[in-house]
Amino acid sequence: MIEEEALIELVMTSDKKSWLYLDGNTNDAPRLQAGDVVRVRRGDHHFSLVLLDNMNFYHAIRSRFNFLIRPDAVPSRLRPQ
């Protein structure tokens, strides 16, 4: 967890082919290069989530992003059982 007002900076350290996709939009996604910095902060707009009884939202998001970013991704730390 991070503070609501935290600023997250992601720095590209290699020239591997990378693009920045926002909200699933693949059109006009900017290509990222070594040295580029992506800054993420809390936005001005709020939204509501719909939660279903048989769905763990955070697990679903984590598994989707691991698959979309790197299909062979290995978690950096294991979740407690």
Q: What's the pTM value of the predicted model, to 2 decimals?
A: 0.53
State both tokens at 12: 């590209």
Does residue 53 fall inside a structural domain? yes
Does residue 13 fall inside a structural domain? yes
pLDDT of residue 37: 94
How distant, in Å, are the alpha carbons of 18, 40, 59, 61, 80 from that of 12?
9, 14, 26, 23, 30
Mean pLDDT for 41-48 is 87
**φ, ψ (nearest 5 deg) of residue 61:** -65, -45
pLDDT of residue 66: 59
Nearest-angstrom CA–CA distance, 68 and 76: 16
Res. 65: pLDDT tops 70: no
**Which residue range(s) make up the domain with 49?**
8-69
Does residue 35 fall inside a structural domain? yes
Give how many domains the chain has, as a whole number. 1
Does residue 77 fall inside a structural domain? no
Does residue 79 fall inside a structural domain? no
